[in-house]
Amino acid sequence: MSPRSRIVTASFILLLGAFAAISVDDGRTNSAPPVAEYSALEPARFEISFHRGQLRLAGHTASSDHELQLLQAGQQLFPESVSDASFKPLGTAPGQWQPRTLAVLNALSTTRSSSAILTRDTLRVRGVGTNDWHGRFDRLRSILSDAVDLDVDMVVPTDEIAVADVCARAFAEYKPGPINFEESGTEFRSSAYQVLDRMISLADACRDSSIAITGYTDSSGPESWNRHLSLARAQSVADYMVERGIARARLQVTGAGSSLPVADNATRFGRSLNRRIDVTFRDRRHLEST
């Protein structure tokens, strides 16, 4: 196996946010990302996510029988979950594609929350596992070939560290990346969904946190418009989180316009850096005690 393969055993379930979810959508709106057109000859890719009792299967399949087996396995392995499936039949699937996808699904059934992306030669997994994860993952590795590069961060919880301490560590290490919007609008670009879903995973894991969402723009245009646009974009982020189960009462939304630039507005690159969303997690219990 690749030297990048690793399993991180940590102290508590709430480190999920540090290894949070991988977006499986390719949408352009901030409510329901549309399914992109595809070719039956495109590279094989299959994605699984399991969060808050919802199982999502999306990607390429080898046959209608493969799709049926995935649906049946999902029902058996995640009996109390709501399932959503979006399959794309391939003209020619990679060797062992059917058993590999089923093995990944089987392994994720031993997690509390997780995401996985499988391609012909890579497997990327993030999540929080149960004590059964290690054995199930060993079985998965035996099904995958040595040519598959593993990138696995799975937190297996123990009770040694307090929840607040683990969340505080996750907040300190949290680096969300840019949330990009269509020009002069509030619709997310497809690249934003991975960042948004990581935020939601951390918010879901650390439920005693409050989340400050602040929008910024560059200095182009009237400041009144900049403040309006920055607030609208921050609100789009908040709405996306609420639609996926995060309580609105935990969210603080602000539009700061072109204030506090992080780069030179005189250059195109600098302006692109100044058009941003800052997200800050705080422990609400700590705030209430100060």
- According to CATH, the topology of domain 175-289 is 60s Ribosomal Protein L30; Chain: A; (3.30.1330)
For residue 272, the SS3 value is: helix
Paired tokens of 143: 């099904």
- According to CATH, the topology of domain 13-155 is hypothetical protein tt1634 (3.40.1520)
Paired tokens of 185: 């609008």
pLDDT at 40 over 80: no
Q: Where are the alpha helices (DSSP H) in 119-160?
A: 133-143
Per-residue pLDDT tens over the stretch 109-160 = 999 889 999 999 999 998 888 889 999 999 999 999 888 999 998 878 765 4
Per-residue pLDDT tens over the stretch 85-101 = 999 998 788 889 999 99
Task: Write down the domain spans for the chain.
Answer: 13-155, 175-289
Between residues 87 and 191, the one the model is more confident about: 87
Predicted pLDDT at 237: 96
CB neighbours (10 Å) of residue 166?
24
Backbone angles phi, psi at 250, to 5 degrees: -85, -10
Whole-angstrom Cα distance, residue 246 to residue 205? 11
With bands split at pLDDT 50, 70 and 90, how would you rate the model's confidence at 41? low
pTM score over 0.85: no
Task: Using alpha carbons, list the distances in angstroms from residue 279 to 49, 61, 167, 213, 273.
Answer: 23, 37, 15, 5, 15
Predicted pLDDT at 252: 96
CB neighbours (10 Å) of residue 37?
6
Average pLDDT score, the chain: 82
Whole-angstrom Cα distance, residue 166 to residue 159? 11
For residue 155, the SS3 value is: strand
Question: Which strand (E) or helix (H) includes residue 124?
Answer: strand 122-129
Predicted pLDDT at 168: 82
Q: Tell me the mean pLDDT in the region 20-29.
A: 37
Residue 49 bridge partners (DSSP): 56, 115
Task: Using alpha carbons, list the distances in angstroms from residue 198 to 79, 106, 116, 206.
Answer: 25, 23, 13, 12
Whole-angstrom Cα distance, residue 92 to residue 102? 18
